[in-house]
A and B are shown apart, each in its own frame.
Chain A
Amino acid sequence: MKNDACLYWQALNRALDAELAADDDVIVLGEDVGLYGGSYRVTEGLYARYGEWRVRDTPISESSFTGLGVGAALVGLRPVVEIMTINFALLALDAIINMAAKIPFMSGGQFPMPLVVRMPGGVARQLAAQHSQRLEQTLMNVPGLRIAVPATPQDAWWQLRQAIRSDEPIVVLEHELLYFSKGPLDEAAEAPPMHRAEVCRAGADLTIVTYSRMRELSLRAAAQLAEQGISAEVIDLRSLRPIDWETCLASLRKTHRLLVVEEDSRFAGAGAEVVATLAERAFFTLDQPPRRVAGEELPIAYNARLEAASIPSAPSIVAAAREICGQQPPEEKS
């Protein structure tokens, strides 16, 4: 199955399939993951293949089925809990933050925590305020958790499998608008470390650090910037906890300019962490104050225009990049 193009959801589906097949201790839990096949099709076919003891439809009880996943992990199962959307993870934060992230530490290392919690999130299409959240900032502030943010089918395949095999509690943040995006998948290729950032476009004038769906927008912006004579390097973080600072620093030594692009709202967010740490570690390398293009400080409106105005777009990334590079925003094209 070399360089087979597939959709993001299919890559996740194959990753689950591979791990369920490889290890009887792997189980999948979540609302409508079984008979229904998952609301974004990620668990399609798995119930038929592995049976309901391993691919289990749960009641609508996020707090408790996530906690149940923690308990199952305590005795050696490797649960993959699907929270239907990240918005509902707010009900499961006790299990994730108070339990999964702390038991290994509180027990003095007696208990590993081979738990994966998958959750689709982000701003999709007019799903309104209670269904458009990006909670990476909330989860990033939890020592003891790892957070993977795959943006491509290849990363989805690699990172979900790594997360399942790892003995640490890992949240996999998937983006609702990425499920039907297509990309190459080489199942046999060797995976980089789960937290390793990827330089997905090389450039010399500025470094755009981004993750998840904003990777695609940043790459689009970088292509437009290239036409305008600005060479942007784009880094996809792939992991928000820990963050691969070395890859970012190496890029800054080359470009001396930093722009962070995040869909989550600006205040105390992922971008704030990236900018603060890189400013601490590379202050004298930077030629310009770092900048962030981020979601507005707003709940997301149902109206499509307001929704679009609340999150970054390729033009807003281009405009910020030009400013950092000392160029005025280009004339509006009609």
Chain B
Amino acid sequence: MKVMPGYAQQGVAENDSALLSVTDKKRLLREMLYARRFEERCYEAYVERKIGGFLHLYSGEEACAHGVLEAARPGYDYVMTSYRDHIHAIKCGSDPRKVMAELFAKEGGTCKGRGGSMHIFDVEHRFMGGYALVGGPFPLAAGIAKGIKMKGGDEISICFLGDAANNQGTFHESLNMAKVWDLPVLYVCENNLYGIGTRIDRSTAVQDQYKRAAAYDIPATQVDGQDVEVVYAAAKQAIEHVRSGNGPYFLELMTYRYRGHSMSDSNAYRSKDEERSWLKRDPIHILRNRLIDSQDLTLSEFKDMDKAIIEEIENEVIAYAEQSPEPAVEDLEKYVLAENDPYVHGGAS
């Protein structure tokens, strides 16, 4: 099975305008490192039983969300994804403290402790939700795109999902509608080669996911998802395509999750060799080493950055989540239905 780069580039050409400045790269490095430390701290908090339920971590896949959303307009474009959603929300602008508080099931969380890890929502930053049902977001993202198009805005709808999700009927049904109605939606497949314990070649007839978009005549690209600059460049062109009214686009990012599928998964179905080969292509190390090679960063600067991040997460994010109160049981019935809707309660016509 193909696991290393040498990926197909289909439908887009190299473009110099898609390059990041050194300042941007350093910021992205910090953001990705922050994401890693955030997720790894979630792991610890889960072991400490501060976080419950299902917890899916994004470690190893940071370049995907960061590269794509760096090329988009986070907080302006609409974004949704699966249950592996903390980092996408943060990159869209969600306050990491509120995301952590949500994982701690607190009132100060993005969803007031009701949603939890798999269901971050943040309307202010147009993060349109993390969803637990595999394949659920495909049609919703198309619906958002339909809304954008009808209202005449220049936002786009971005839907991240896993490789295994593409075997749901919603994938095919949504891509078809998106194309036939030329909707401004970018589908991003984070292909980490597994759906829980089932490797892609055991579940999926066409393993290069970008090829599947061809069935709907949607342009598509497959790139290395471990190199944030490569992701950024591909996303930039994909997003230009979508934003300028040319209809949907499909981007496939080849990546790998370093942790188990969720906290209850031991990864027993993957070989250590395979894991090691992907650890060698850590997205954070790739960018760090490149910045060191070009003498834009020193190793000690990187280490200081890491230390500062760890402290910030502890002192601000975890502290906030710890201190935030739990939801009150008296509020149990809140948010099930809208309060005071004049149409259902009478008084408005």
Residues of A in contact with B (beta carbons under 8 Å apart): 31-32, 35-36, 39, 57-64, 87-88, 90-91, 125-131, 296-299, 301-306, 309-310
A313, chain B: closest CB distance, angstroms: 13
From the candidates B53, B118, B131, B132, name the one contacting A125 in the complex (CB within 8 A): B53
Which residue in chain B gives the minimum CB-CB distance to A131?
B132
* Between-chain CB contacts (< 8 Å), 5 pairs: A32-B197, A59-B204, A90-B133, A127-B53, A130-B132
**Is the CB of B329 closer than 8 A to any CB of chain A?**
yes
Q: A128-B53, A128-B119 are in contact. Are A35 and B167 (CB under 8 A)?
A: no
Top 10 nearest A-B pairs by Cβ distance? A302-B116, A36-B197, A126-B53, A59-B167, A126-B52, A130-B132, A303-B105, A303-B113, A59-B203, A128-B116
| A310-B332 contact, Cβ under 8 Å, with A60-B168, A303-B113 | yes
CB of B75 closer than 8 Å to a CB of A: no
B positions within 8 Å CB-CB of A:
52-54, 102, 105-106, 111, 113-119, 131-135, 164-165, 167-169, 195-198, 202-204, 269, 326-327, 329, 332-333, 336
CA distance A296 to B336 in the complex (A): 11
Q: How far is the CA of A131 from the CA of B134 in the complex (A)?
A: 12
Can you add 20 more A-B contacts, CB < 8 Å, to A39-B196, A87-B132, A126-B52?
Answer: A32-B196, A35-B197, A57-B202, A59-B164, A59-B167, A59-B198, A60-B168, A61-B168, A90-B133, A91-B168, A126-B116, A128-B116, A129-B115, A130-B118, A301-B114, A301-B332, A302-B117, A303-B106, A304-B52, A305-B326
Q: Are B169 and A61 in contact (CB under 8 A)?
A: yes
Structural contact, A302 and B135, CB atoms closer than 8 A: no
Q: Which of B54, B131, B336 has the most C-beta atoms of chain A within 10 angstroms of its own C-beta?
A: B54
Contact A297 B336 (CB under 8 A): yes
Contact B164 A126 (CB under 8 A): no
- Residues of B contacting A61 in the complex (Cβ-Cβ under 8 angstroms): 167-169
Contacts of B196 on A, CB cut-off 8 Å?
Answer: 31-32, 36, 39
Q: Complex formed: what's the CA distance from A314 to B198 in Å?
A: 40
CA distance A32 to B203 in the complex (A): 10
**Contact between chains at A302 and B169 (CB < 8 Å):** no
Instruction: Output the nearest chain B residue to A37 by Cβ-Cβ distance.
Output: B197
**In the complex, how many angstroms separate the beta carbon of A158 from the nearest chain B beta carbon?**
29
A288 to B20: give the CA distance in the assembly, Å: 75
A32-B198, A60-B203, A125-B52 given; A306·B134 CB < 8 A = no
Contacts of A36 in B (CB 8 A): 196-198, 269
Contact yes or no, B133 A87, CB < 8 A: yes
Considering the chains assembled together, what is the distance between the CA atoms of A52 and B168 in angstroms?
Answer: 22
Partner of A305 from the list B102, B197, B327 (CB cut-off 8 Å) is: B327
Q: In the complex the two chains form, what is the Cα distance from A296 to B333 in whole Å?
A: 9
Contacts of B203 in A (CB 8 A): 57-60
Contact B114 A306 (CB under 8 A): yes
Find chain B residues with CB under 8 A from A91 CB.
133, 168
Residue of A31, A131, A303 touching B54 (CB-CB under 8 A)? A131
Contacts of A306 in B (CB 8 A): 113-114, 327, 329, 332
List chain A residues, Cβ under 8 A from B326.
303, 305
**A57–B115 CA distance with the chains assembled, in angstroms:** 30
List the B residue with the shortest CB-CB distance to A127: B53
Using Cβ atoms and an 8 Å threshold, which residues of chain B touch A302?
52-53, 102, 105, 111, 113-117, 119
C-alpha spacing A32/B133, complex, angstroms:
16
A127 contacts B198, CB within 8 Å? no
> Considering the chains assembled together, what is the distance between the CA atoms of A31 and B164 in angstroms?
11
Nearest CB of A to B323, in Å = 16
B198 touches A128 (CB 8 A): no
Contacts of B333 in A (CB 8 A): 296, 298
Complex CA–CA separation, A40 to B114 (angstroms): 25
Residues of B within 8 A of A304 (CB): 52, 105
In whole angstroms, how far apart are the Cα atoms of A31 and B168 in the complex?
12
A296 touching B52 in the complex, CB below 8 Å, given contacts A88-B133, A303-B326: no
Q: Identify B169's interface contact among A64, A130, A303, CB under 8 A.
A: A64
How far, in whole Å, are A304 and B333 apart by their CA atoms in the complex? 15
- Across-interface contacts of B168 in A (CB, < 8 A): 60-62, 91
